[in-house]
Structure 1
Amino acid sequence: MAGYRRNAIAELAPPTHLTRFVAERFPWICALWLHLALYALLSDAALWRTILPEPPEPVSVEIIPEFLPPSLPETAEEEIDESESQTAAVSPQSTADPLSGSNASSEQMPSSDATLPAPTDPSSSRTRPEQEWVTANAYFANDVLNDPRSAQAREFLPTLTSEDGREQICALEAMEQVRHARPGFKPTRLAPHAFRNSFQKEDMIVVPAGALRSNRVWYEIAYRCRLDASGKIVSGFEYALGAPIDRSIWDEYGLAPIH
């Protein structure tokens, strides 16, 4: 009986040469399986990278919102920061008024002959034509801001300081006045501080040497804008539009042809 059991165990046991073969090659077999597993893992990872969707590109948001006033083509950009717009109509009356640099404001909207202040560009020696001051008899900034397409601008204006908010409203008024007084002009940007800083005196904003862009050309502009007690409604406005600004100095003064 014992002999039978030994024979049975011997039959169940693997052959000696097979055991020796496995023992000698066990490290090699383990390494092979490890490489196969690693290859499969890397293949799956590559597949995941091709299947997973690309993350969306980041969206940049302007701090100062843009708005589209009435009748403005949807391709134009308007920025409250430098006030863009197009709307309504005006039949201005010409008056004259000297603008003497940064001391040009007064308690009343004055009238006499005026010359548009020249930019402080030492390389510019061309003669600048005299410009008549135009006194507006209708105002449009409030109508533009009340347009449904200007909802974002209306919401943003109260977040500005009182001084900045007044300046933006007056810049918007300047663009509107020029657009309706001059057929063919399509103002798309205004830079109140282009050549000289604007300033405020009581309820009046004075821009002695700004720049207005229309049809991708920059023009000299100066204006005075009076606001009511709330600082939100224009109650008086006059401006002088000058000659086109020499293209060679646009970059120097930050006057972009587009955007």
Structure 2
Amino acid sequence: MQRTGPAARALREPGLATALCLHLALLGALLAARAFSGFVPMTEMNVEVELVGPEALTPPAPPSVPAQAPPAPPTAEIASPPQMAPATPLQDKPATPPAPPPTEPPAMITARTLHSESVLANPRSRGTREALKTLEASERVEQLCNLEAMSQIHAWKADFEPDRVVAFAMAGTKLTKAVLEAEGAAFRSRKQWYGLRFRCEMAANGKVAGFQFRVGEAIPRSEWAAHDLPPEH
């Protein structure tokens, strides 16, 4: 059997002070018993007292902790080079919107009732009837169409009171067979000239058979003289 050393045994047994107290108490008890017994001789007893060295009383040193290496200084962070912002793709210039198509002029008004014949039938128009007989055919057609134009404009809008029409004021007229077209005509109402366009159809008997017209904007006074548009008469 392997023997146990003093230091190892001291860890399993009571300390020195406790062992001494136990031995003294036992010795005291034996002495007291011997005194009462008087004549009874005391048998020798071998009391083994184990002395523990001072090294046994020293508490064991705590287990050594391996020294840790001091923490390494924090590594300086290397700033990454600034990243260039992604280049914004060049946006195509907005295409120029196509020019709006030219506005078509409003449709011409088609007369449902013709007035030139009834106007000439009025007794007050006797002088006009006689004057028309003296004109050439083309000029007579133009004057009949001008008369129809004045009557149709007033019937369309009573605010207009036409007193004169010039079929060729802004542009020449066009006479094809029995149709007279005036693209740049003008009429005067309340001393103001306005643009006019009309298409006049003539019947075989020399009367107006159909009429279409469209009233334009007021003509600036500064342009009247250039187009032979008199302010009066």
TM-score by length of 2: 0.54
Identical-residue share of aligned pairs (%): 34
CA distance in 2, matches of 1:194, 1:183: 23
Q: Which residue of 2 aligns with 1:248?
A: 222
Q: Structure 2: any 5+ residue segments left out of the alignment?
A: 1-102
Q: Which residue of 1 aligns with 2:176?
A: 201
Cα drift, residue 204 of structure 1: 0.5
CA RMSD across the alignment: 1.6
Q: Structure 1: any 5+ residue segments left out of the alignment?
A: 1-113, 116-129
* 1:235 equivalenced with 2:209 (yes/no): yes
CA distance in 1, matches of 2:199, 2:155: 17
| Deviation string, structure 1 residues 81-119 (Cα, Å, up to 9, x no partner) | xxxxxxxxxxxxxxxxxxxxxxxxxxxxxxxxx95xxxx
- Equivalent AA in structure 2 for residue 249 of structure 1: E
- Equivalent AA in structure 1 for residue 146 of structure 2: A
* 1:165 equivalenced with 2:140 (yes/no): yes
| Deviation string, structure 1 residues 193-246 (Cα, Å, up to 9, x no partner) | 101111210111110101111111100001000010122x11111001100001
Cα drift, residue 258 of structure 1: 1.2
RCO greater where, 1 or 2, for CA within 8 Å and sep 6 or more? 1
1:182 equivalent among 157, 160, 175:
157
CA distance in 1, matches of 2:174, 2:162: 22
Q: Which residue of 2 aligns with 1:41?
A: none
| Deviation string, structure 1 residues 36-56 (Cα, Å, up to 9, x no partner) | xxxxxxxxxxxxxxxxxxxxx
1:212 equivalent among 175, 187, 209:
187
| Deviation string, structure 1 residues 53-89 (Cα, Å, up to 9, x no partner) | xxxxxxxxxxxxxxxxxxxxxxxxxxxxxxxxxxxxx
Q: Which residue of 2 aligns with 1:257?
A: 231
Moved over 6 A (4+): none
- Equivalent AA in structure 1 for residue 176 of structure 2: K
Cα drift, residue 192 of structure 1: 0.6
CA distance in 2, matches of 1:188, 1:158: 21
CA distance in 1, matches of 2:108, 2:222: 27
Cα drift, residue 131 of structure 1: 3.4
TM-score by length of 1: 0.49
Look up the SS of the partner of 1:252 in the other structure: helix
Cα drift, residue 132 of structure 1: 3.1
CA distance in 1, matches of 2:191, 2:119: 22
Look up the SS of the partner of 1:152 in the other structure: helix
